[in-house]
Amino acid sequence: MKLLSEYRDHASALPNRIVMSPMTRLRSHPDGSPTADVADYYAQRAAAGLIVTEGIWPHSTGQSEAWVPGLQTGRHIDAWRRVTEAVHARGGRIVAQLMHGGRKGHPLARIDGSWPTGPSSVVDADRPHLLDGTKADPITPGAFEHAEIAVVVGHYAVAAANAIAAGFDGVEIHGANSHLPHQFLADNTNLRTDEYGGSIENRMRAPLAIVDAVTAAIGSRLTAIRLSPGNPQFNMVEADPAPLYRALLAELDRRDLAYLHLTDNDDYPALADLRPRWRGTLIANIGENRRPTSAHDAEAVLGLGRADLVSFGRAFIANPDLVERITHELPLASIREDLLYGRDAAGYSDYPRWAAGAVRCA
């Protein structure tokens, strides 16, 4: 199986091509520090070729929901260091996903009570989890003043440096699935008339500034980005993704990043269109808006040469020993959707490893 073969590029070596996809789990302390359960959870999954953490806010003004972790303060760095050490002790590799909510969020979901702000003042229909345990009704976000964009870009650079201080093996900028860079790229969330809106060149400006700031802080070989071209999920509208993402990849490809993490979807075949335009390492995600990624589907993508690695999301939640199960062709346990966003170990770090007859099989 190609999925189980070693992967090497000029900077890294991974024991297999199975990546744990980033998944928000809302298991942090209210201040954004990951709990001890978080260290257990990722350490249990350390056999992955690479783990990408759940989205982490670079700054409290980018917090999208309550209990999402942060990478802004010394407390955050110390708490994340316990996570990276636990993963490294098991021989794993882990990168931090920097997730800025932009227009997403709510003052009652945030440790600083700030009002969400994005490229433009366009309401998001998503209902974030609040600190009191309820879900918010949509509110109207603010729009960044021109000078505020450089400040937010700077937040990413500081958080990236914090990630390396916490022992992460790199940083993935979350430019997918409706988060801040995606809000600059998409049609419906960027109505700006300054140099950050309008033309393709302008809409790419803030995402590229973020990449360049992170690269300047930690180096291009520790910097990666996730993109979801044309993904209609989460109220995003991208009428004509091909020219935009081709232009963006032409810029990114020159920057010699650690990898590109690309989600495929039925509306726009991103992998088929963009793989030939990316010379570096490419991680594919093929499960957005589809059934959970299976080893069979992943192997097919690798066989077509559409990616070097494949990320697994939901299967990794329910199967801490996913790599072992794929290796030995063992059945996979089913996910407990009702426990995705709990406060404790239930449905998180309490999924058992394989034991014949002891798991519910999908």
Ligand X SMILES: Cc1cc2nc3c(=O)[nH]c(=O)nc-3n(C[C@H](O)[C@H](O)[C@H](O)COP(=O)(O)O)c2cc1C
Residues that bind ligand X (CB under 6 A): 21-24, 54-55, 97, 99, 174, 176-177, 226, 263, 285, 287-288, 292-293, 312-315, 340
Comparison of 55 and 207: residue with beta carbon closer to ligand X? 55
Q: Whole-number minimum distance, CB 98 to ligand X, in Å?
A: 10
The rounded Cα 118 to chain-centroid distance in angstroms is: 18
Tell me how far, at minimum, the Cβ of 174 lies from ligand X, in Å: 5
Residue 201 CB, shortest distance to ligand X, in Å, is: 25
Q: Which of 138, 44, 41 shows the shortest CA–CA distance to 91?
A: 44
Q: Which is nearer to ligand X, 142 or 292 (CB)?
A: 292
Judge whether 118 and 78 are in contact, CB under 8 Å: no
Nearer to ligand X, 145 or 324 (CB): 324
What is the torsion angle, in degrees rounded to the nearest 10, for the CA atoms of residue 19, residue 20, residue 22 and residue 26?
A: -170
DSSP assigned state of 220: G
Q: Write the burial class of residue 154 (CB in 10 Å: 0-12 exposed, 13-18 middle, 19+ buried).
A: middle
Whole-number Å distance between alpha carbons of 211 and 216? 9
d(CA 31, CA 176): 25
Nearest to ligand X of 162, 265 (CB atom): 265
In the complex, the smallest distance separating the C-beta of residue 39 from ligand X, rounded to whole angstroms, is 18
How many Cβ atoms are within 10 Å of 52's Cβ, its own excluded?
27
Q: How far is the CB of 147 from ligand X (least distance, A)?
A: 28
Least distance in angstroms from the C-beta of 334 to ligand X: 13
Nearer to ligand X, 280 or 313 (CB): 313
Looking at beta carbons, which residue is closest to ligand X? 287
Distance between CA atoms of 351 and 322, rounded to whole angstroms? Answer: 11
> In angstroms, rounded to a whole number, what is the distance separating the alpha carbons of residues 233 and 125?
11
Please name the amino acid found at residue 213: A
CA distances from 75 to 96, 177, 297, 352 (A): 16, 28, 40, 31
Q: Supply the minimum distance, in Å, between the C-beta of residue 130 and ligand X.
A: 18
- Residue (170 or 192) nearer to ligand X, CB: 170
Which residue, 84 or 285, is less far from ligand X as judged by CB? 285
